[in-house]
Amino acid sequence: MTESLGSEERSTAASSEAAASVLPGGESTARSANTLDSSAESTDSAQLQSSVIELDSLCVNYDKPVLDSLSAEMRGSCIGLLGPNGAGKTTLLNTLLGFKRPSSGKASILGHDLKSGNQWVRSMVGYMPERDAFIAGMTGIRFVRMMAELSGLSSKVALERAHEVFFYVGLGEARYRNVESYSLGMKQLAKLAQAIVHGPRLLFLDEPTNGLDPPARARMLQLIREIRDSGDTHIIIASHLLQDIESCCDEVLVLKEGRIAKYCNLEEERRSNRQFLLMQIRGDEIAFVEGLRNLGCEVALPNRRRIKAIIPEELDISQLYELAESLSVQIRNLDYKRDSLEDIFLRAMDAD
Amino acid sequence: MAIFLKAYQGYSGPVSASYERMLVIFRYALADVFQSRLFIAFYFVSLLLPVGLMCFLYVYHNLELLLTFEVPLDDLPTIDGTFFAVAMQIPQNSLLLILVMVIGPSMISPDLRNNAMPLYLSRPISLSNYIVGKLLVLVFLGSIMTWVPGTLLFFLQAFLGGEGWLGDNLHLLLAAAISSLLWIICLSLLAFAISAYVKWKAVARIFFFGVILIGSILGQVIEETFGGVGAYIVNLFAAQEVILTNLYQADPDFLGFVPSMPIEVALAQFFVVSVVALILLARRIKQYQGVV
């Protein structure tokens, strides 16, 4: 049904050149090798499978330590960055974008050290800031085209992709309007457009749904998921909205007071607690609990008539009903509980 | 396939070299400047003097025309360094001051006001690329106003003036280029630095003019109170006069008051002002580059 964003530009470029190109480099690999790290080409195809961001005892100090010895290897296709105010999210973003230098330790993006390969890294990332950010006096299309050219695209390709990306984010009809005249939601989409116009391998989104009404928010999240599912781009989302993170991300990094409080794969984290059940019963509670234990469950009784059970992997829920039937116990309520991101986040905040 | 049915896909084509990305900033900023009709009119007017001087040189070397218009030949000026400095360089430098005052503050302050720095600097361009890209706009426009027509005028005079004139006045080429570029770069960086701190264009323009004017007035006050050359170190106009007099080997009497300051001091003055402005500008931009 759909066709790739870059199809037209590829048809206008020499086909052999386009076919040969794997990275921003393709046709003019030798030329770009002067400015961008040529080793990128060999490592790049493997990057989607290997680590996206690697932090190795990363410390950033202002007057006091803001990031304290962060170590993590992030591999997810969409990674949520969470933490309360002052936890260090902004500083981490600043550092990864090359705006702040680490005091010690190192960070690498897509296998390239930030210190030595800063220019290469910047050519590979897209960034959507939280606050209003645009270039005054420009139409949307000119703004995005300029951003694409600054990322290294030729003028012609930049124009083509700017048009395409504007339609892609749903601003096609407004692309000739001045950016200053856009509504808040349109500005958010324009910021997303400039962040993805050059087809980055890593996309930083800082509070992407800030100030959006529910339909616009849903649209933005849908776009993020589409970009994620394209497989071409890894995404880092910093947001206070846990629902947004939960709906898009497969991994989360929770920061607390400049340290990593939790880094986990959401699905694995949920899976580890998927057998967690809360039951309310009427009947012989003691016999039912005993029966559960005989089935291999860990059982706790937080209060009267409520049973909390962690059931083993191999146990099917239907066996519980069979047990209840055999003991003439009524299961009045059964809550199949999965850990939400909020649970994970709150647990990380509570942990020392 | 309709454009709106396309899905997202990464880019895998060629990328430009670093200097080309710097020229993107220059190209877009230059185009923005020419969106103002008022500026286009001003720029057109600023080029009238060089054109007029070319016409003058043509008439100057055309005896028939001079006799037709009964121009007294003894009253005609000698075409030398003094002529180039007084008739061409000083008026064009004054227009350049207005040019920088008008467009200098609109180059960087809107980017800071609209949080555009993270957008620029998260891309593969450096802070110096950004500043040089913007500076090139003023260097380009200023050059077309000053040393480029000066050079054309020089070659026209060399052509019309005979063989000996070119050899005797070759230093004028260097004088035009150096004095113009010094003035352009120093004023531009000063305007950028001021606009980076003031943000509002109109206020930045007033501040810019104020800094130049106050420096000049302060220099005169210090000179009158304490005497000595040191007073002129804060006066950019005095430094400019010294440089023009020396490089053009011009007669100081025609340039107005020229302080007896060594050219090295005047050059150092331009250098120091430029470096200080650059440092202040870079510091300010760095404050805006991060995520807030």
Same domain, A177 and A282: no
pLDDT at A49: 54
Three-state SS for A337? strand
Same domain, A314 and A210: no
Q: Which of A2, A37, A121, A150 is the mutation pick for testing B, counting most B CBs within 10 A?
A: A150
- Report the percent of chain A where pLDDT is more than 90: 42
| Closest residue on chain B to A161 (Cα) | B11
Same domain, A176 and A320: no
String of DSSP letters for A246-307: HHH-SEEEEEETTEEEEEEEHHHHHHHTTTEEEEEEES-HHHHHHHHHHTT-EEEEEETTEE
Token pair 């480099």 is found at A25
Contact criterion met (CB below 8 Å) for A145 and A135: no
pLDDT at A2: 39
The mean pLDDT of A294-318, rounded to a whole number, is: 79
More confident residue, A268 or A104: A104
In this structure, what DSSP letter does residue A311 have?
A: -
Closest among A46, A19, A21, A16 to A32, alpha carbons compared: A21
More confident residue, A249 or B255: A249
Residues of B in contact with A123 (CB under 8 A): 15, 123-124
Q: For residue A33, is pLDDT > 60? A: no
Residues near A145 by beta carbon (within 8 Å), at least 6 away in sequence = A155, A158, A159, A162, A197
Q: Which of B6, B122, B130, B134 is the mutation pick for testing A, counting most A CBs within 10 A?
A: B122
Looking at the domain assignment, is residue A236 inside a domain?
yes
Same domain, A75 and A213: yes
| Closest residue on chain B to A138 (Cα) | B32
String of DSSP letters for A105-145: EEEEETTEETTTSHHHHHHHEEEE-SS----TT-BHHHHHH
* φ/ψ bin of A244: left (φ > 0), alpha (ψ from -120 to 50), beta (otherwise): alpha
Contact criterion met (CB < 8 Å) for B291 and A122: no
Looking at the domain assignment, is residue A80 inside a domain?
yes
Looking at the domain assignment, is residue B3 inside a domain?
no
Contact criterion met (CB < 8 Å) for A150 and B32: no
pLDDT at B5: 52
Q: For residue A44, is pLDDT > 60? A: no
Contact criterion met (CB < 8 Å) for A157 and B123: no
Whether complex ipTM tops 0.90: no
Range of the domain at B40: 18-289
Looking at the domain assignment, is residue B8 inside a domain?
no
pLDDT at A26: 32
Contact criterion met (CB < 8 Å) for A122 and B7: no
In this structure, what DSSP letter does residue A31 have?
A: H
Q: For residue A340, is pLDDT > 90? A: no
pLDDT at A30: 31
B5 min Cα distance to partner chain A (Å): 6
pLDDT at A248: 93
Instruction: Give CA–CA dist A110/A47, Å, rounded.
Output: 6
pLDDT at A352: 57
Within 154-213 of A, beta carbons closer than 8 Å to B belong to: 154, 157, 161, 163-164, 167-168, 172, 194, 196, 198-201, 204, 206
Within 6-25 of A, beta carbons closer than 8 Å to B belong to: 6-7, 9-10, 13, 17-18, 21-25
A57 min Cα distance to partner chain B (Å): 22
- B253: buried, middle or exposed (CB in 10 Å: 19+, 13-18, 0-12)? exposed
Q: For residue A9, is pLDDT > 50? A: no
Decide if A131 touches B, using CB distance below 8 A: yes
String of DSSP letters for A161-222: HHHHHHHHHT-GGGTTSBGGGS-HHHHHHHHHHHHHTT--SEEEEESTTTT--HHHHHHHHH
Looking at the domain assignment, is residue B63 inside a domain?
yes
pLDDT at B164: 86
pLDDT at A41: 43
pLDDT at B231: 65
Same domain, A317 and A185: no
Contact criterion met (CB < 8 Å) for B7 and A125: no
Same domain, A262 and A140: yes
Same domain, A121 and A157: yes
pLDDT at B44: 96
Contact criterion met (CB below 8 Å) for A143 and A134: yes
Give the tokens for residue A34: 């002067």
Q: How many other CB atoms are found less than 10 A from the CB of residue B149?
A: 21
| Closest residue on chain B to A228 (Cα) | B8
pLDDT at A31: 30
Closest among A77, A127, A122 to A248, alpha carbons compared: A77
Q: Please name the amino acid found at residue B12.
A: S
Of A125, A137, A226, the CB nearest to B8: A226
Looking at the domain assignment, is residue A349 inside a domain?
no
Same domain, A245 and A307: no
The helix (run of H) or strand (run of E) holding residue A157 is helix A155-169
Instruction: Give CA–CA dist B205/B109, Å, rounded.
Output: 11
Strand bridging mode A78-82 / A251-256: parallel
Ranges of chain B whose pLDDT falls below 50: 1-2, 292
Same domain, A70 and A102: yes
Of B4, B32, B119, the CB nearest to A147: B119
pLDDT at A191: 95
Closest among A207, A211, A166 to A189, alpha carbons compared: A166
Q: For residue A23, is pLDDT > 60? A: no
Say how many domains are in chain B. 1
Looking at the domain assignment, is residue B2 inside a domain?
no
Three-state SS for A309? strand
pLDDT at A234: 94
B182 min Cα distance to partner chain A (Å): 29
Q: Which of B19, B36, B123 is the mutation pick for testing A, counting most A CBs within 10 A?
A: B123
Token pair 């050359």 is found at B229
Contact criterion met (CB < 8 Å) for B14 and A24: yes
Contact criterion met (CB < 8 Å) for B12 and A201: no
Same domain, A281 and A224: no
Strand bridging mode A65-74 / A112-113: unpaired
Residues near B284 by beta carbon (within 8 Å), at least 6 away in sequence = B112, B193, B196, B197
pLDDT at B138: 97
Q: Please name the amino acid found at residue B102.
A: V
Contact criterion met (CB < 8 Å) for A23 and B28: no
Say how many domains are in chain A. 2
Residues of A in contact with B9 (CB under 8 A): 4-6, 199, 230, 232
Contact criterion met (CB below 8 Å) for B238 and B216: yes
Contact criterion met (CB < 8 Å) for A150 and B18: no
| Closest residue on chain B to A229 (Cα) | B8
Q: Please name the amino acid found at residue A128.
A: M
Contacts A–B by Cβ distance under 8 A: 195
**What CATH number is attached to the domain comprising A310?**
3.30.70.1340
Looking at the domain assignment, is residue A70 inside a domain?
yes
Give the tokens for residue A242: 């846990």
CA dist B172 to B166, B246, B248, B288, Å? 10, 11, 6, 43
Contact criterion met (CB < 8 Å) for A136 and B113: yes
Same domain, A202 and A319: no
Give the tokens for residue B119: 């957008």
Range of the domain at A157: 44-269
Q: Please name the amino acid found at residue B240.
A: Q
pLDDT at A238: 92
Q: How many other CB atoms are found less than 10 A from the CB of residue A288?
A: 22
Most distant pair of Cα atoms in chain A: their distance = 79
Contact criterion met (CB < 8 Å) for A167 and B3: yes
Closest among B285, B279, B280, B291 to B113, alpha carbons compared: B285
pLDDT at B18: 85
Contact criterion met (CB below 8 Å) for A56 and A105: yes
Instruction: Give CA–CA dist A237/B224, Å, rounded.
Output: 64
Looking at the domain assignment, is residue A24 inside a domain?
no
Of B7, B8, B124, the CB nearest to A119: B124
Same domain, A223 and A245: yes
Three-state SS annotation for chain B: CCHHHEECCCCCCCCCCHHHHHHHHHHHHHHHHCCCHHHHHHHHHHCHHHHHHHHHHHHHCCHHHHHHCCCCHHHCCCCCHHHHHHHHHHHHHHHHHHHHHHHCHHHHHHHHHCCCHHHHHCCCCCHHHHHHHHHHHHHHHHHHHCHHHHHHHHHHHHHHHCHHHHHHCCHHHHHHHHHHHHHHHHHHHHHHHHHHHHCCHHHHHHHHHHHHHHHHHHHHHHHHHHCCHHHHHHCHHHHHHHHHHHHCCCCHHHHCCCCCCCHHHHHHHHHHHHHHHHHHHHHHHHHHHCCC
**What CATH number is attached to the domain comprising A201?**
3.40.50.300
Contact criterion met (CB below 8 Å) for B112 and B118: no
Write phi, then psi, for A282 (nearest 5 degrees).
-130, 125
Contact criterion met (CB < 8 Å) for B118 and A6: no
Q: For residue A36, is pLDDT > 50? A: no
Instruction: Give CA–CA dist B97/B101, Å, rounded.
Output: 6
Within 67-96 of A, beta carbons closer than 8 Å to B belong to: 90, 93-94
Write phi, then psi, for A86 (nearest 5 degrees).
85, 5
pLDDT at A24: 32
pLDDT averaged over chain A? 81
pLDDT at B219: 76
Indicate the pLDDT class of residue A48, thresholds 50, 70 and 90: very low
B120 min Cα distance to partner chain A (Å): 8
Instruction: Give CA–CA dist B155/A148, Å, rounded.
Output: 43
